[in-house]
Amino acid sequence: MINSAAWRFAPKPGNRLQPARIALAAVATVLAGLAFAQAPNLPQPAAPAPAALSDALPIPPPPAPRTSAAWILMDYATGQVLAGENYDVRHEPASITKVMTSYVIAAEMAAGKVHADDAVMMSEHAWREGGAGTEGSYSGFPVNKTAPLVEMEKGMVVQSGNDAAIALAEHVAGSEDAFASLMNAYAARIGMTGSHFVNPHGLSAEGHYSTAHDLARLGRALIHDFPVAYSYNKIKEFTVGPITQPNRNLLLWRDPSVDGIKTGHTDKAGYCLMASALRGDQRLISVVLGDTSENQRAVDSQALLNWGFRFYETHKLYDAGKPIAKLKIWKGAADDVQLGLAEPMLISMPRGKYTQLKPAMDVPKSLVAPIAKGQKIGTVKVMLDGKLIAQRPLVALNAVEQGGFFKRIWDELLMWWQTV
């Protein structure tokens, strides 16, 4: 096969510069070949255990909850939606709201503004609006008495105490309204674009809404950002004085892999459940809104989790900051630049098809120094069955300064010869 660069520089009769052209052409051809050899080729990730025969079959439809208004199943590691219906439609979140309250409290604790041992007062307002005399769930902390913040929070999380949620809001921000402003600010930071909160407990109120998608995002954020606060959600029962109440998440008793997250119920919202389970190193999050009963929301959530674990798996393809390819650099102090990712690349994919992944790169044909560290150079893509399933930006892992005067002139000449 004739190399195109060498063909262009074939000697012509009567050309006095023929020897110089031949030499320069030879060098250009070698460098062009070197650049091609160093073009990024993605390493295939190590294969897991051999796939089962059934993994070659099509994935069956998800067990869609028939009596719910909206639902979603999300992979925790990637945030990828595996299945769902109406998950971006606004819906009352009921007491799942308290997960947002937990997130705000944990974030304010991390900022040093409140502390786990703070004395939180069960005000008369909190007691009247959310205590035992109301129709909603309550924690049982006595009115006008204090309790450590962490205990009050467990009363809110485990017992779904509306009174505890109000007391915590007053302690953190002074009032429910001020706390709701914090909730909305943190929700925006998380990326909950379809949500708006007006209270810390989730009782029906005008302008108080979320979506199944946003709530799954919230659960993912709480697990990732504040694992200690999240751990309260797996407590099966909590005692305040003479009153012991169970966690209303029935999956905590039915499935040992489930470690959260939160139930909710009002007449308008129906029965709601945000659940999460960890099996091996894979975690899934489900949200079911507007179901018909406490048991049905648990049954529907369990079916979704089982389906997701059976038919999907999560893999980390590449670590952040580690070179996965290198690319030729012209006019640089170095001859190439290392390419990698700013963040780990994880994907959720049908189980048993790991070895069928086809990675590829889109990178510039010609790259000229200077190159800054962290500069976006191109894109790494992953295909499966001819479809794009993931892509991430490629960045320079090292800076490349401009080369000296003669290096720049020489590379300029070689680049010109390759274009004529």
* 366/306: higher pLDDT: 306
Q: Would you say residue 83 has pLDDT above 70?
A: yes
In this structure, what token pair is assigned to residue 341? 């990712």
Average pLDDT over residues 346-363: 88
pLDDT digits (tens, 9 = 90+) for 406-420: 777 886 777 777 766
Sign of the torsion angle spanned by Cα atoms 360, 363, 365, 369: negative
* 23/114: higher pLDDT: 114
**53 pLDDT tier (thresholds 50, 70, 90):** low
Which string of DSSP letters, residue by residue, matches 10-76?
---TT-TTHHHHHHHHHHHHHHHHHHHHTS--PPPPPP-SPPPGGGGSPPPPP---TT-SEEEEEET
What is the 3 state secondary structure string of 94-107? HHHHHHHHHHHHHH
Residue 376 annotated as catalytic = no
Cβ atoms of 200 and 101 within 8 Å: the answer is: yes
The residue from 102, 160, 195, 301 that is catalytic is 160
Which residues 6+ apart lie within 8 Å of 381 measured at CB?
359, 360, 361, 362, 388, 390, 391
In this structure, what token pair is assigned to residue 270? 């129906």
User: How many CB atoms neighbour CB 404 within 10 A?
Assistant: 10
The residue from 68, 95, 276, 286 that is catalytic is 95
Crossing angle of the two packed helices 176-190 and 212-225, in degrees rounded to 10: 90
The residue from 68, 98, 102, 348 that is catalytic is 98
Residue 210 annotated as catalytic = no
**88 pLDDT tier (thresholds 50, 70, 90):** very high
pLDDT digits (tens, 9 = 90+) for 199-233: 999 999 999 999 999 999 999 999 999 999 999 99
Span of 238-242, 262-266, 329-333 with lowest mean pLDDT: 329-333
Average pLDDT over residues 255-271: 97
Q: Which domains does the chain carry?
A: 4-49+317-419 (2.60.410.10), 70-291 (3.40.710.10)
Q: What are phi and psi of 111, to 5 degrees?
A: -85, -5
CA distance 84 to 64: 8
pLDDT digits (tens, 9 = 90+) for 284-342: 999 999 999 999 999 999 999 999 999 999 988 899 999 988 888 888 888 889 999 99
